[in-house]
Amino acid sequence: MGSLQLQVLDLYSNNISNISALENSNTIQKLDLRSNKIQNYSAIINHVNYKNYKLDEQK
């Protein structure tokens, strides 16, 4: 099982955050800087462009 590096724009801080996600998992974890706690997020990853490490837009 591999690991993916995702980049997400955090609207609270207006910064881009790096998030690790397991390739075969629908759960990603992110450290919430406001509460200093690990938050779980659900995500459906249908296709990943490994070259650019960006999620394709759903069509």
Each of the 59 residues of the chain gets a pLDDT tens digit; together they read: 566 666 666 666 777 766 666 555 556 666 666 776 766 666 555 545 444 444 554 44
According to the model, what pLDDT value does residue 5 have?
65
Q: Domain spans of the chain? A: 3-45
> What is the C-alpha separation between 59 and 57, in angstroms, rounded?
6
> What is the C-alpha separation between 2 and 15, in angstroms, rounded?
26
